[in-house]
Structure 1
């Protein structure tokens, strides 16, 4: 008896159509998944409206000049605790070295890459010129420490520094 070899199926137009559609369906599906992931993980923009930011720019220049004229000496120290909390200590003095009183300081830890991870730090006055605050759930890595000091609802001080928390 002779061995029979399997008969090869001919490539038909229907087979080519089905494989082509299947190929492009896989490519389009993968592209849609990647596009969805890219859009949902996009951290956003630095400002919501470039026009509004440009209008406020002149006011920022004036506020910066006034802050420089005051000559305040504001120092901040921040530590990340093993439990994930971050403790910030702020020491504020005027140009003669006298501790500043009656200011409300606000502090924020901002992620340079993802605004959704930002953490507000509630700062309270611990004594003349000394302010302390704490934020929970702060992960290690690079952050921007933003400190604002205001008196009577008017911003008197602004500082933004890039820091690394371990």
Structure 2
């Protein structure tokens, strides 16, 4: 600082006004909000798989037909035991035991098992299980990824149809 010629003393600074920092607190608060929103948007866009239900409108229209089919399936009261047994990493056996409501074996059925990856597309596997005797249908399967899969069972038989879904863990 320079000296004033008249008095030879330094000029004194004016003290800051009380609360001078409050506008900067508002700026800092909104900067933090914008930064957090930017991070959230980045993760939202980078992790979205783009999965959506195909044919959602037609599925909605057929809802009453699906309910009638579920009632008929419940009246048949089939005893279906669907299992996935891991044999090696990402390999296993999809099996199904099928009996009617009286415990009689159901054979001559067309059994289809679909293993569906619930979080991503392109890895699903569909198998038609052959009849092995004693109401048992089974086939080996190899999957692309470990983790959770949905095992969707569809059975077509002369006495009626059946479908169910079960979550399985693949080692």
TM-score by length of 1: 0.69
Query: Which residue, out of 120, 142, 151, partners 2:148?
Result: 142
Does the 8 A contact of 2:152 with 2:164 survive in 1? yes
Give the aligned partner of residue 161 of structure 1. Answer: 166
Which of 1 and 2 has greater Rg? 2
After superposition, give the CA deviation of every residue in 1:99-136 in whole Å (9 maximum; x if it has no partner): 00111100011111113211112311111411011222
Match of residue 75 from structure 2: 69
**Closer, same or farther: CA 155–99 of 1 in aligned 2, 3 Å:** closer
> 5+ residue gaps in structure 2?
1-41
Q: Under a length normalisation based on structure 2, what TM-score does the superposition of the two structures give? A: 0.67
Count of aligned pairs: 129
What are the ranges of 5 or more consecutive residues in structure 1 without an aligned counterpart?
1-33
Map Cα deviations across residues 71-117 of structure 1 (whole Å, 9 max, x no partner): 10000121122153221121000000000011110001111111321
CA 1:155/1:49 → structure 2, altered by over 3 Å: closer, same or farther? farther
* Equivalent-residue separation in structure 1 for 2:82 and 2:95 (angstroms): 6
Alignment root-mean-square deviation, CA: 2.4
Question: Counterparts of 2:60 and 2:93 in 1: how far apart (Å)?
Answer: 34
Change (3 A) 1:53 1:140: same
Out of 29, 42, 53, the position equivalent to 2:49 is 42
Q: Which runs of 4+ in 1 moved over 3 A?
A: none
Alpha-carbon deviation of 1:139? Answer: 2.5
Indicate conservation of the 8 Å contact 1:86/1:138, yes or no. no
The residue that corresponds to 1:110 in the other structure is 116
